[in-house]
Each structure stands twice: as structure tokens, then as C-alpha cells.
Structure 1
Amino acid sequence: MTTPDSVAPAVAVPVALAIAGSEATGGAGAQADLKTFQALGTFGITALTCIVSFDPKADWGHRFVPVEPQVIADQLEAEFAAYDMDAVKIGMLGTPATIETVARVLREQRPQRLVLDPVLICKGQEPGAALDTDTALKEQVLPLAGFVTPNHFETISLSGLDAIDDEDDLARAATIIHERSGAVVLAKGGVRLAGPDAVDVFYDGTTLEVLRTPKVGELAVSGAGCTLAAAVTAELAKGAEPLEAARTAKDFVTRAIQRRMPSRAPFEAVRQG
């Protein structure tokens, strides 16, 4: 029989927060973040910013519903009151109003380790709204980030380059983004660059390192970018140095792609171990 005296004391583990959207099929977004946090030994929590559901009746296009800014603020208020955040990841924010709300909280709370996965294209929005969102993210959230994980398109946008066609271009872009933001950069080339390897570039102002693994197919897998950024966040929460976190995250997402989840949707999803 268990008695009050025999109950094991609560044990604290590093806390990782994802401020991100819900993706209904479970492959990306906050769902991928939580699975990654759990797999890497952190206590994961989320503040949902939007609900994204693919529409199987319309070529699996995005249906995007933002969460009210006050509801986002309420989630964050409860979370920061309950825990000391060891690391925070920013995923899809989706609207200028959401970005303003999240940026205000981040300026107030000042988390020590802030990872930005800069979702610059919010599918399901009108082009003008998407541009306003992108501008707000660059102006209000990017300056707060200590670590940035842009994908191929986002790396082009943040660096201002016309194109990124090879490893040298990716390294140049990562350097430019660091110089503009001051953040550690893990620029994701993934399967979008020619060659047998999925290539990402790490740059922190001193060390430039190319991270490469053999490609697993030639198509992007849903949730790979979210998982990579979440893995970086979890490792930073545990005390890893940025380069160590990037290496671990690269290995973790590669294995998640290798064991990817099939579905009746026109894409496969990462599956975290």
C-alpha cells in the first residue's frame, strides 16, 4: 500500500515552451514540438497561436484560424507563472496581432534561450496579410531571438540573397543573417540543394560548420523543420552549447525522417523516437 510518506518527491526536469500553431494531422506544429521535447527528456508545454487543418476536399490546402490575442496572452501568463522556462521556441505566429502579443510577453519575461523558427509564409492567408505578418516577425521577434533556424525560403528572405543554390550560398546567407540579427543561425538547406546530402549550415559569429547527412528521399517531410528547431530548443534547455545542440538536433531529425509516418495525405510526416 502506498502511503503519503512513501510517495516519491517531485523531480524537476528542464522546461521547454513552444509558442506555436496546432497542426491537426500531428506531423508539424505544436504536436511535433511536444513529441520532440518529450523524446529528448524535457517537460514540454505549448501556447497555441492558431489552428491549422489541411482540407482534403481542396487539394489539402491550409485552413488557418488564429487564436484570439488575449487567449494567447492568458496561456503565456499561466505558463510563465507556473515554471521557469529553460528554453522557448517560437513557431507559427500567423498574424501581426499575435506577433505583437507574443513579442510583448517575451520582452517582459526575457527568456534566456529563445529559438525562432521563422515561419515567414503563413499558408491560408491573403498575400497582403502574409506580407504584414512577415514584416512584423522580422521587426518584433527576430531581434529577441538568440538562435534562428530558417528553412531554404526563409534563409533567402532573411539574408536578402536572390537565390541559394549550393552549400557556399547557404554559408554566405547564414553569415549575413547572423550579422543582421546577432543570433546563432542554423540555416536549413535540407533536400532543396542538389547533391546526395541534406545540408544545413551553423554559424555563431566565430564557428561555421556544415552539418550533413545522406538524404532520405528527395521530398521534404512534414514537420522536419519544426522538429529540428524543437530539438535545438530541448538541448539548449538541458544546458547544451549551441553547436552541440545543432548537431544533436540534426541527428534527431534525420532519424525522425527515416522512421517517417505514412498517411493518406499527399505527404509523409516525421516520427520522433
Structure 2
Amino acid sequence: MSDSLLPPPPIALTIAGSEATGGAGAQADLKTFQARGVFGIAALTCIVSFDPKAQWGHRFVPVDPQVIADQLEVEFACYTMDAVKVGMLGTPATIDTVAGVLGEQRPKQLLLDPVLICKGQEPGAALDTDLALQKQVLPLATFVTPNQFEAMSLSGLAAIDTVEQLIEAARIIHERSGAVVLAKGGVRMAGPDAIDVFYDGQTTEVLSEPKIGEVAVSGAGCSLAAAVTAELAKGATPLEAARAAKTFITQGIRARVASAAPFDALWQGGPA
């Protein structure tokens, strides 16, 4: 029997919140990494749990910044990251901590999935968080995956109701950040198809699949960004990563897990 080792897998880190139902956040990221053949690591930034007694609103608890720093210290000491995904950070203090580490480590692939609003925060705190994220983390990103609302915020457009407006938002965000953009329209865009727009400064590509229902599936946005991260970690080009992620997410939505909440959850095992 041979005792030779197999080639090591690519390694991806997600810096994100824990979402208790397992449908989104770091849980979704790690399942996506595994499904895409990447060794996944997580640094938790906050704990989010829906409240079934209060219309399924968010309950948000931030992780102490020193605890976040400790997680990142050991993770970067152990591994050379092939790609890093940044999801929900949640507070200016968390953003300051994470941005400081990423500024020192400078991962070669840094995807920002810019969670701009957490419903568990007061409006003023949410705005402070949004501005800190745009100022401190967005300039470090090589790839950014805003949803429809986040694309409006990052681009300054008053509305994104059409594919043309989503394309314009992606172009503006790229011009402001220098990052490759995958603007996620999904089921929130009018029409029969779930639309996402890729733009890298030269290539514009509309990624379209027929909608599977009209209600957003929990974890679809997180998992799409995580799938892109995984493909980048494996050496795919940004456009190849976006295309593969779109196919993966469509299959995961089709294999969704039913829930007693007002939303179902994407299943990353569906494509397998």
C-alpha cells in the first residue's frame, strides 16, 4: 500500500458571522468551500440568530475584536490562504480589526461580500458600519459581490430595477474600487430570470438563469460569493469563477431545504 500523500487542497478563509439556522453566514461559506473542493477556515465576527417570536428579525451579537484578532492570528500563522472572503463584519470596531489584519497580510485574492445592513442594529450604527466598510475594506478587495441594495449604496444610483441599471452599477463600483464586480440581482430583479452582472473593467457579462420561485432563498448570496472565492482559490479566472458559481447556486436553490421560517435554505450538497 502506498504511503504517498495526495496533493494538498487549496485553502480559503471566510471572515463572517455565524447564522444559527445554518442557511447563511460562515456555515454556508464552509459548506460551499467543501462542496467546491477547497479546505475552508472561518473567523467568526458576530452571532446572528433569527427571532421566531418577532417576525424572524435578526438578533445580533458582535464578537469581541480581540477574539477576532486572535482567530485571524492563528489562521494566518498556520496557512497561506489561496483566497479570503469577507462577509458580515457588523461594527466599526470589527471592521477596524479585520482591515488592519488584511492590510498586513494582503491576500492575493480578497473577495468582499459587502453586508451593509444588519436589521439588529440601530440606523445610526448601521450607517457608521457601512461607511467604515466602504472606507477600510473595499479598497483592499480584488473582487466584490454586492446584492441589489448594496449595489445601489456602493454606486450611488437611486434605483436598480433593470439589467441596464445593474450593469451601470457594476461599472461604477469597479471604477471606484478597482475590484472585479459580480452584482447580484437574483430573484429581486423583475422578469422571469435571476440576473447577476459580471464586470472587470473590460468584460461585461450578464449571467442569467430562470427563476426558481419568487422568494429569495437563505444563503444564496453568501454561497454565491463563497463559490466564487473557492474557484479563485483553485486558480480560476474571475469570469470562470463567476460562471461556475452561478451554476452551483442555481443547482443549490433547486435542491433547497424547506424551513418553518418564511424562507427556505440553499443546499450546497444539491449539485453533488
> In the alignment, is residue 188 of structure 1 matched against residue 146 of structure 2?
no
In structure 2, the partner of 1:92 is: 88
What are the residue-to-residue correspondences of 1:158-197 with 2, within 5 Å?
158-197=154-193
Percent identity, please. Answer: 77
> In the alignment, is residue 51 of structure 1 matched against residue 51 of structure 2?
no
User: What SS class does the counterpart of residue 263 from structure 1 fall into?
Assistant: coil
Instruction: Summarize deviations over 1:212-258 as a string: whole Å, max 9, x none.
Output: 00001111111000000000000000000000000000000111100
1:11 deviates by 4.0
In structure 2, the partner of 1:74 is: 70
1:33 deviates by 0.1
User: What SS class does the counterpart of residue 195 from structure 1 fall into?
Assistant: coil
In structure 1, the partner of 2:223 is: 227
Bigger mean CA offset, 55-64 vs 148-157: 55-64
TM-score (norm 1): 0.97
User: What SS class does the counterpart of residue 121 from structure 2 fall into?
Assistant: coil
What are the residue-to-residue correspondences of 1:190-269 with 2, within 5 Å?
190-269=186-265
TM-score (norm 2): 0.97
Q: Distance in 1 between matches of 2:20 and 2:80?
A: 29
Is there any run of 5+ residues in structure 1 with no aligned partner, and where? none
Q: Distance in 2 between matches of 1:240 and 1:205?
A: 18
1:60 deviates by 1.1
> Are the equivalent residues in 1 in contact too, given 2:15–2:87 (CA < 8 A)?
yes
Q: Distance in 1 between matches of 2:5 and 2:217?
A: 41
Q: Distance in 1 between matches of 2:119 and 2:88?
A: 10
Q: Which amino acid counterpart does residue 228 of structure 1 have in structure 2?
A: L
Q: Distance in 2 between matches of 1:192 and 1:63?
A: 24
Q: Distance in 2 between matches of 1:127 and 1:257?
A: 31
Q: Distance in 2 between matches of 1:91 and 1:70?
A: 18
In structure 1, the partner of 2:151 is: 155
Instruction: Summarize deviations over 1:17-58 as a string: whole Å, max 9, x none.
Output: 000000000000000000000000000000000000111111
Q: Distance in 1 between matches of 2:57 and 2:156?
A: 28
Q: Distance in 2 between matches of 1:135 and 1:204?
A: 23
Bigger mean CA offset, 192-201 vs 30-39: 192-201
Aligned residues: 269
Is there any run of 5+ residues in structure 2 with no aligned partner, and where? none
- CA RMSD, 1 decimal: 1.0
5, 9, 18: which one aligns with 2:5: 9
Q: Distance in 2 between matches of 1:9 and 1:156?
A: 48
Instruction: Call closer, same or farther: CA 1:270–1:196 in 2, change over 3 Å.
Output: same
Q: Distance in 2 between matches of 1:179 and 1:186?
A: 13
Q: Which amino acid counterpart does residue 91 of structure 2 have in structure 1?
A: T
Q: Which amino acid counterpart does residue 132 of structure 2 have in structure 1?
A: A
Q: Which amino acid counterpart does residue 258 of structure 2 have in structure 1?
A: P
> In the alignment, is residue 108 of structure 1 matched against residue 96 of structure 2?
no
Q: Which amino acid counterpart does residue 59 of structure 1 have in structure 2?
A: Q
